[in-house]
Chain A
């Protein structure tokens, strides 16, 4: 207790000026917090969120097919838990790791609180509430199992385990859209968070290889390739996304081979992809520029061919340098999906606008926008945190991992 007081004193009240500033800041912050809490607890009417929670989550996805989304969520949760545990069971060879670091325990407690409190606060039926608890248990179980037994997994086994993620993405696509014996759910029925995550993950996954190729093209010695890349990057970066989205709705059907862009949703997703690729290419280019020339020379002098030298020596280093910039692009890409509402798609913002247009919820904009902001913040925070964890894991100079 005394130690805490001393620390507070040293950090907040070291000099009279510091003290005055601290007091003023604390008062300002508590005023803001107090005002917000008074609004959130007494004036706001959260019915708009409670009633429409399913709409925000998945849009007008047919209710009798929603088990598919639950199944997909369960698969994703299981894979996340297993990956989490495996990463802890296999710290980098030069570091010592702890199976259950304090932050991991904290994260699990937080997730538990959310899974227990949020569904009941949203007034979901008991059946649905138990599903969320089940998901939490699944996460904890997979995390525990992978941590407990994952250390025995060979490096080949781990590489195979990583393939679960691309596989899961394909499975998820089938589960969401149907096919292979499942009833088709047309993209026009997808909405809310589901559509937002789908469009952004699609664009993020595809813009990455395109962006890397564009960056390499821009540094190529072949004039046609170089000028083609430059032209593409500069054109896309010079045009606002919204005009490209409208343009895409009008002409993309002609540009892509038939069948690839039949639906409005997919057309928009492709435009997002091509848009993000140009920005990503610039991020990757800065990473490539940061790799010293000697690296390529050393790889070549060992007999590696140019493509192999790129793949094993230059790109791993360049991408690590470019990682923060790339994740910044991904985060703004995620937020750019809100523009899809302007071309009539019902992703999160589009759904929110239909809800607010409902006379029953007139004037409840504050609650809706706050919910939206928190949802987006959650997604972006997840991206940002995982990128920082990845950076730490890839950092060649970092000290042993913290406990």
Chain B
């Protein structure tokens, strides 16, 4: 399955000692088999540094030429030459340990471009992504000096329902490829909703990222126009601290394990043929009211989430990775309150799990306000209706966290399978 985790591309052929969170876990040896390699880092808080910085780049999702490609100082080149392979059964940027910076682009196809227009866009993006992920400028790149070092750049492409409609292929769309049902907590704004085509672009280097985004938009000119763009950030995978959201919570603790991705994330033989090896993604913009959250005392914050703020440990445990005991009581009262977030986010089967790959956003506030901040909630799963929606329905009904968080944008995309060598993204759908 996750055989794409191989070193490729010019600079990356020189592997070096870029530390990966996986190596910190001491599971490097288990990676050599390829399957599942590089799939752990998205555990966000679960894999903090505990050991030496010995690296196992050849077996992970990451290889690094380090200073070889830049020579601009060790700190700047920690990830510099690292290349995430573009070719493989699954697209990069899903099971890839999350990069520190992300930009999500949703484009709408120009009415009338049809299937041929969508095919033209996918051909160009295939060319662009395959080159940029290796640190090679696009063909006709107006800023070729901004393509390298790629710094773990990934481009992940998805199609919204509107793309299939424009292409005359709605009969091929799975039922889940549609706007999510409206939840009671939603205050959605159309400017953050939906979109015909998605590109999730991630890199450790925001300059590399900005260039890649611009390259993709240039290739789209005449075919599709920008509907929304959302930018996010998180700690580097190499950070010794957990991923935290801007409410201070350790975020993204529970994730499918390496061996569970076929059941939870990748679309298999029961899915549409053109999506086998692909997935689905839910992208929701969740605004945080940090002013009222700041006013809450620390103990109350822990009750709301069901975890300790500092350690991320469930209130029934001592460390982040402890499994919450939802049945524990003290003096007849549940230790993890009925209204706690983790109580309602919990799932009981692997097939219900979602792969979360969230990013914080902290945009320019309006004059007179203190913050325009929140979370880009990004979840990959085989079927949003079977996985994300039941979870979100529980959370919408009972999660006290809703008091401080408001979903203001929502979109669902079908994530295309990874391309084989010489193939184009979406080829199984578009020919």
Genuine A/B complex: no
B residues sitting closer than 8 Å to A (CB atoms) are none
What residues make up the interface of A, taking CB atoms closer than 8 Å to B?
none
